[in-house]
Amino acid sequence: MNTRKRSTGNSSSKGKSSNRPSAARSQRSGAASADSSRSSASTSRNTAATNKPLAAKSSTTGNQARSTKAKSSGASKRSGNSYYRKQEPPRQYQVTESEELLPFLLKHLKDGRNAVKSILGRGQVSVDQKVVTKFNLALTPGQTVSISKEGAVAAPSMTGVNILHEDNDIIVIRKEAGLLSIAADRSNDLTAYRQLMEHVRRTNPNNRIFVVHRLDRDTSGVMMFAKSEEVQQKLQNNWKDNVQDRVYVALVEGAVSKEEGTISSWLKETKTLKMYSSPRANDGQHAITHYKRLKSNREFSLLEVRLETGRKNQIRVHMEDLGHPIAGDKKYGARTRDLGRLGLHARVLSFIHPTTDKLMTFETDIPKQFLYPFRADNATAE
Give the residue numbers annotated as catalytic, written as ranges.
216
146, 129 in Cβ contact below 8 A?
Answer: yes
Three-class DSSP category at 175? strand
Q: Please state, in angstroms and rounded to a whole number, the distance separating the CA atoms of residues 147 and 102.
A: 13
Three-class DSSP category at 51? helix
Q: Please state, in angstroms and rounded to a whole number, the distance separating the CA atoms of residues 146 and 287.
A: 47
How many Cβ atoms sit within 10 Å of the Cβ of residue 359? 11
Q: What's the number of CA atoms in the CB half-sphere (13 Å) around residue 237?
A: 7
Q: CA 177, 222, 266 angle in degrees (round to 5)?
A: 85
How many Cβ atoms sit within 10 Å of the Cβ of residue 10? 13
Cα radius of gyration rounded to whole Å, the chain: 37
Q: What phi and psi values does residue 281 have, to the nearest 5 degrees? A: -65, 145
